[in-house]
A and B are shown apart, each in its own frame.
Chain A
Amino acid sequence: MSRLRYWINTFYSYIFRDIWRIFLSTLVGGISLYLLVFSVLFLKEAYKSKHYYRVFITVSNKTPHSDFTRIQNFLRSSENNIKLKILSPVEKLKKLSIKSEEIEKILPYTIIAYSSMPLKLNFPSDLKAFIIRVTSTPPGEKEFRRVLSVVRNFFIFLSISLLFGTILIIILTLHLSFISHIEEIKTLQMLGANRTFINIPLYFEGIFTGITSSIIAILMFLATEFLLKRYYPPLLVLLNGIEYDIISISSGILLGIAGSFLGTIFLLRMEEAS
């Protein structure tokens, strides 16, 4: 019997209570993370719309690769300060195992060109055949404000309150389990256990709760993303890039751990004060 063994046994006897609470916190946590990611994307687009002329060039997805590259090169040469964002959902959709005929029906390529000057695009005639549509928006203070207020008033508010909700549920979960072994803690105190000895299994438990919650949250996040993209493919335009997945995954784990850790410390302080 070693200390570590004792702590693991204790942790094991604490865990697997209030499992439903973990799921609840997960649900709330997952939704809040999702909204947070959306808010970030919204803001990013909004800032671009403030500073750049944006031209959306819709290109047929039957365009041969070489011609598609020529279109890009043509765009790059048309203006010194141009940035291109190429949205080619075909590859992504293939990964999602949607049949390619359907893809062609659904989505062309989209190129978003950001430029500080207005663009006049006269595509060479052989390329013109592949261009389905060109729409252009000037930098708009108004639009920026509108997007910003939507983000601020709705998404940020909602996601932050949901984040608090998650932390609250984690704390409640810990509180319940804490109460359930308060007698045990008192006995240990009377036997001369110091704070560290008592707290370590509680931290194990807190962190376990946190990690479990975040892992389930992440799975839900990814599943939702998958379904959304599958049934509403244009979302690929917004949810584009692995960085957001990484951000949300890591923030989910951090949230879980931080919530549990803070919760545990908080409860132990309260208990000591009483």
Chain B
Amino acid sequence: MIELYHVDKKYPPGIYALKDITFKVEKGEFVYITGPSGAGKTTLLSIIYLSTRPTSGKVFVLGKDLTRIKPDHYPKFRRELGIVFQNFRLLKNRTVYENIAIPLLIRGMDTEKIRKKINYLLNFVGLYSKRWSYPDELSGGEQQRAAIARAIANDPFLLLADEPTGNLDEEMSIEILYLLKEINLKGVTILLATHNKDIMKLFPGRNIHLENGQLINEQTKILD
């Protein structure tokens, strides 16, 4: 479903954030993207959600060549994805409820359907009692769960999660992982960027390991 062929991303003045990346992810997979800070995990995900253009190479999602999508069609493509950003990116001046509503509003869903959907999502991520809180009034884990609820609101076929357990304690991280696994079991493909090794021990899975922008042999790094 996701195919990358010899993808390079070069930032001026010549730093390679990604170098010759080639891999494939099938539908319904749960894939970790790991590597030390600065390895290129965020860059890799941002190429898939069209926030960054690769310097060279080809990227296909659902058979679509991403380098050929016109900027006018970016919004339509992104609406099919769910993204959990590394720094949450919740809108500060909006309640949890409104934040989760945004993808649905963008889609133009009607008010009553939105209400039902959001109530379902709030219960799913366990934030129903906090629905009228603002992001600043939430703990890190709660913000993270709000971000996940927003990412899955549109029933995406692909969820890109960038460090969704960063800065969280172990208990909270495990809770988030259960949530993501549950989403995965519903058939959503998940790419999860993380450097939390404990999590990977508890929830083993395919691992794409990056170092200095280069792909290190898959699988071998899971349990080191």
Contacts and interface: CB of A to CB of B under 8 A. Distances in A.
B57 interface: no
A161 interface: no
Interface string B109-127: 0110011001000000000
Contacts of A194: 75-76, 106
Given A1-B98, A2-B111, A190 B105 contact: no
A129 B75 CA distance: 83
Contacts of A9: 94, 98
A190 B147 CA distance: 13
A1 B51 contact: no
B63 interface: no
B188 to A, nearest CB: 16
Interface of B: 49, 51, 74-81, 83, 85, 89, 91, 93-94, 97-98, 101-103, 105-108, 110-111, 114-115, 118, 150, 154
B102 A13 contact: no
A184 B49 contact: no
Contacts, number: 62
A192 B107 CA distance: 9
Contacts of A189: 74-75, 78
A191 B107 CA distance: 10
Contacts of A187: 85, 89, 91
A3 B109 CA distance: 9
A157 interface: no
30 contacts: A1-B98, A1-B101, A1-B105, A1-B111, A1-B114, A2-B105, A2-B110, A6-B98, A6-B101, A6-B102, A183-B89, A187-B89, A187-B91, A188-B106, A189-B74, A190-B49, A190-B83, A191-B78, A191-B79, A191-B83, A191-B103, A191-B150, A192-B75, A192-B80, A192-B103, A192-B154, A193-B75, A193-B102, A194-B76, A194-B106
Contacts of B49: 190
Nearest to B115: A1
Nearest to B80: A192
A15 to B, nearest CB: 12
Could you say which of A183, A187, A191 has the most chain B C-beta atoms within 10 Å of its C-beta? A191
A2 B105 CA distance: 7
A191 B106 contact: yes
CB-based closest 4 A-B pairs? A192-B79, A192-B78, A194-B75, A13-B93
A126 B18 CA distance: 103
A193 B98 contact: no
Contact of B105 (A6, A183, A184): A6
B98 A192 contact: no
Contacts of B108: 3
A184 B75 contact: no
Nearest to A272: B71
A14 B69 CA distance: 32
Interface in A177-214: 183-184, 187-194, 197
Contacts of A1: 97-98, 101, 105, 111, 114-115, 118
Given A1-B111, A1-B114, A191 B93 contact: no
Interface in A1-48: 1-3, 6, 9, 13
Contacts of B75: 189, 192-194
B96 to A, nearest CB: 12
B101 A190 contact: no
Nearest to B107: A192
A2 B101 CA distance: 9
A187 B92 CA distance: 11
Given A1-B98, A192-B106, A193-B102, 9 more contacts: A1-B111, A1-B115, A2-B111, A6-B101, A189-B78, A190-B49, A190-B89, A192-B78, A192-B81
Could you say which of A1, A13, A193 has the most chain B C-beta atoms within 10 Å of its C-beta? A1
